Structure 1
Amino acid sequence: MIPTIVGILLINFAVLRCADDPLRSALSQEGSEDNALDPQLIGQTVESSIRTAAMSGRHLPAIINMRGFLHRDRVQSWLESTEREEGMQDEEARRQRRESGLWLSGRFAVQPLYEILSDPDQEHLHGPASYALSFAAYRPLSLHDIQTMPSAQRSHISTRNARLRHIRIGHENTFEGGFSLTVDEETYRERLHNIQEWWQRYGEDFTYGPGAAWAAVFLETGFIDFFGRFFSGRLESEQFRRPVFELIGERWYISFWLQFLSVFLAWTIAVPIGIRSARRKGSLEDKATTNSLFMLWSLPEFFVGALLLFYLCTDREGSAALFPAQGLPDTDSLWLHTPAYLMAVAYHGLLPLFCLTYGSFTVLSRYMRGALLDQMGADYARTARAKGVSEDAIVYKHNLRNSMITMITMGSGLLSALFGGFVVVEYMFSIPGLGTLLLEAARAKDAPLVMGATVISVSLLLISILLADLLYAVVDPRIRSRYV
């Protein structure tokens, strides 16, 4: 089970790294048609994108981080490669990726960028270098940082981030002329002075030795950051700006009870139907039951749910809705005494529960019938009949217990089918469960929340399979005597 969970986590990490670049939308808003950068507009947009990427480690290299070995010549060459040139329109997407990578280059690029800004011979690069420095030095504060970081350190970082907004030098980047400043000489000198003051005050925060560079190679990576946040519970939702597991904790119990009741009802209904069909094999009742159940099984949840919503949950001319369209009781019912509240829950949850249950019990009943028929024709059953044992005793004392092995296997597999079904049913009936949360996260492209909800759901499925293995020993003495 543990290798399976690790494999799922690795797949989630790979999918997360393949998600859209959070800075791509910022690059598409690079100012007006003449490509002049508005310091305030682009700064706010990119800072928000960096903050979003930092929630799941997407601001760091995936496996190996070589940024600690950046030097001035490398950064200057990188900066020059982001300049637009005439006739290079077809290379714009690649240029944007290079620019995005520079803005996300992080703390190790700050000192080389400052050296470029301190060189008067590189005046044509001062505009883009000031932007790159302000974004590389930006340190977003997560919810965990706000809650645990000492106030003095938190204030220091917040002030440092705020001062970064006053060092950006307005410029444009066009295909005709490349980089060129868009500010007057006085503003340009003022920004350079702000950069020097900022470095004098905060330069020590971005001065590193070889040890820090080597330590960052494997430790400051997206892989380490993602799994560190995941296992420590610090993984945050990009949409809600809250810890992922806190959001899941508020919703999962609703989905858990829906699935638990669905499986319980499916078993309760399927076992008697399967036994009755097996004991009346070939009869008109057996054929009618089999055909009816197969027809019911062929109807998908969303189709049945839509029919129920239209015919039973909608006010029409001459008739009122019989059931509420929302799958949970009204807020006012929380103030009622327990029996009334339970009745309200049952009233609101009857239709969603039916949508989740009907497909399960139809399949289980057919497997119950087939498994019981195999046991009824076994040698030990024929021997018991020859000895005069009653048919009821053979079926309920011997055949049924041996048939349960197949049913346990199918019952644990039901949860995997329900995992897809409950997302649709919860959305259709407006149930605020884990399925609705997962769908909201997918629509908002909230990768950390999708990953967290998926891992939790699959983990519950694996636990159910483990419980099924333990139940084998309960129903089959041969397994118990071999392994216990």
Structure 2
Amino acid sequence: MTTYILRRLLLMIPTLLGITLVVFVVMAAAPGGISSQSLVDGLNLEPQAKKAMEDYYNRMYGLDQPAPVQYLRWLNNVSPVGFVFDAQGQMSGFSWVKGVDLGLSFRYGRPVTDLIAERLPITLLLNVISIPIIYVIAIAVGVHAATRRGSRFDVGSGVVLLGLWSVPTMLTGVLLIGFFASDQFWRWFPTGGINRREALDMPFLPHWGALGDVFGVLLLAGLGASVLVWLSLFARARWRALVMGGIGLVLGGLMAQQLQPDHLGLLHISLALVFALSLGGIAASEFAWLRTLTLGLLGCALGVALAAQFSQGVFVRGFLLDRLWHLVLPIICLSYGGFAFLAKLTRSAVLENLLADYARTARAKGVAARDVLWRHVFRNSLLPLITVAATLLPSLLAGSVIVETIFSIDGMGKLAVEAVRTRDRELVLSITLISGLLTLAGYLLADLCYAIADPRVTYD
């Protein structure tokens, strides 16, 4: 295994070189190319200043040299071992410990390392939150649908997942902003960014002005969650659907009242029916996990909303709650397509193994259905999920380009768009290098997970 890992790590080097070479060739062959003249055009400088700026770019980046020389020079800069250049751009020696230098950004005039250090944690935060959400929902829904093939849940979840997977991320982002962040509809969330400027001066955790408000929030949130969880676990399906349908009617009516407070219209009826049917359908579902989680979260949210109406002191969101408030819509955009696709894949993999001979034999021997599902079937169904996991991180990074642009989040995705738009060669190549490194690391991790999930797989 150690030999295999070392061999894969060494193979990453030529792969990364090939990726960066393709990107460099595309940029160099594009109309206008990358030259000092193209960088200073449109700056409205005096001829002397323009000539000085061109000389500066040529000296710093070697833009007056042939394209192969420029690429080799960039490779020398990003390599920890290589030649050293002085302030005039002349070679001054060779060093084994010169370190990695990603260069200076054309547009920002700052080291690329500093820009990436600022933006990369934001994109990683989005993906670290999105990936667990994708896998938890996908595995739960996919396994339950496979074990109840042909049921109402299987058919209904299949239609919903197919619909979610078919909606483009860019359209979803625009619709979410239009309905839930604009003044024309419900302004529940911010239109962009990851925090407000005022949040930097707030305490980290939420803060209430009165101690009674804290107890009120905890009491009502816990009471609401407990009541609806009890309803989900112990009440009959008919009563669950009836109670949750009534709550849905009230919630839909309150949402419509915010838009049309003067009169009762079609909007009130439509929203009330949509919420009533949705919550009633979830409450009547035989999927206890989904039903209990949904009702518990709803009860907690209703308790917090009720406590906010009776609070006496001043409430300060705090940095943490403000950050989470800003991340709700971007996380939805990043997650829904992933778990829709992965849930369908999980259903197919689990269903195929449920019908296999070894599962039928285990059931014939008297093994409990739960043990057959989770100890035998699910483990063999992990292999396609691991395969998708290797491509999930690159796809989420690619999706971050769209989401960060729509929601004005200063992450790696938005930085990549700005770099390509301004032909910032150093920045584009560095982002390509980092993205390729993360992608190859994901593939290596997937290969290692194969051996963990399936003992038959060996790399010795």
Give 1:257's aligned residue.
125
State the Cα distance separating 1:408 from its structure 2 match.
1.0
The alignment status of 1:22 with 2:35, answered yes or no, reads yes
Give 2:459's aligned residue.
483
* 2:448 alignment partner, one of 470, 475, 478: 470
Distance 1:478 1:354, change over 3 A: same
Query: C-alpha offsets along residues 46-71 of structure 1, whole Å, 9 cap, x if unaligned?
Result: 321332344433221234xxxxxxxx
Q: Does the CA-based 8 Å contact 1:229-1:235 persist in structure 2?
A: yes
- Matched residue type, 1:22: S
State the Cα distance separating 1:275 from its structure 2 match.
0.3
Give 1:49's aligned residue.
54
Distance 1:226 1:483, change over 3 A: closer
- Matched residue type, 1:412: A
Q: Does the CA-based 8 Å contact 1:26-1:46 persist in structure 2?
A: no
- Matched residue type, 2:360: R
- Matched residue type, 1:270: A
What is the correspondence of 1:28-47 to structure 2 with a 5 Å cutoff? 41-47=46-52
- Matched residue type, 2:325: Y
* 1:281 alignment partner, one of 142, 149, 156: 149
- Matched residue type, 1:411: A
Give 2:405's aligned residue.
427
Could you tell me how far apart the structure 2 residues matched to 1:397 and 1:383 are?
A: 14
Could you tell me how far apart the structure 1 residues matched to 2:431 and 2:59 are?
A: 19
- Matched residue type, 2:62: G
Give 1:244's aligned residue.
112
* 1:339 alignment partner, one of 205, 221, 237: 205
Distance 1:376 1:269, change over 3 A: same
Could you tell me how far apart the structure 2 residues matched to 1:320 and 1:375 are?
A: 46
State the Cα distance separating 1:254 from its structure 2 match.
0.5
For normalisation by structure 2, the TM-score amounts to 0.64
The alignment status of 1:295 with 2:185, answered yes or no, reads no
**Pairs aligned (count):** 314
What is the correspondence of 1:13-412 to structure 2 with a 5 Å cutoff? 13-19=24-30, 20-25=33-38, 41-63=46-68, 221-231=69-79, 232-316=100-184, 321-340=187-206, 341-412=319-390
Q: Does the CA-based 8 Å contact 1:296-1:362 persist in structure 2?
A: yes
Q: Does the CA-based 8 Å contact 1:55-1:237 persist in structure 2?
A: no
Q: Does the CA-based 8 Å contact 1:326-1:348 persist in structure 2?
A: yes
C-alpha RMSD of the superposition = 2.2
- Matched residue type, 2:400: F
What 5-or-longer segments of structure 1 have no aligned partner? 32-39, 64-220
Q: Does the CA-based 8 Å contact 2:20-2:432 persist in structure 1?
A: no
> Mean Cα displacement is larger for which, 420-429 or 52-61?
52-61
Could you tell me how far apart the structure 2 residues matched to 1:312 and 1:27 are?
A: 42
Calculate percent identity across the aligned residue pairs: 36
3-state secondary structure, aligned to 1:477: coil
Higher relative contact order (CA 8 A, sep 6+): 2
Q: Does the CA-based 8 Å contact 1:402-1:475 persist in structure 2?
A: yes
> Mean Cα displacement is larger for which, 53-62 or 363-372?
53-62
- Matched residue type, 2:61: S
- Matched residue type, 1:384: A
3-state secondary structure, aligned to 2:61: coil
State the Cα distance separating 1:392 from its structure 2 match.
1.3
Q: Does the CA-based 8 Å contact 2:123-2:397 persist in structure 1?
A: no
- Matched residue type, 1:247: L
Q: Does the CA-based 8 Å contact 1:302-1:424 persist in structure 2?
A: yes
The alignment status of 1:9 with 2:20, answered yes or no, reads yes
Query: C-alpha offsets along residues 257-312 of structure 1, whole Å, 9 cap, x if unaligned?
Result: 11122111100110000001100112222111111110111001110000010110
Could you tell me how far apart the structure 2 residues matched to 1:330 and 1:381 are?
A: 54
Query: C-alpha offsets along residues 337-380 of structure 1, whole Å, 9 cap, x if unaligned?
Result: 33332221111101000000000000000110011111111111
- Matched residue type, 1:223: Y
Could you tell me how far apart the structure 1 residues matched to 2:27 and 2:205 are?
A: 46
Distance 1:290 1:26, change over 3 A: closer
Could you tell me how far apart the structure 2 residues matched to 1:51 and 1:424 are?
A: 34
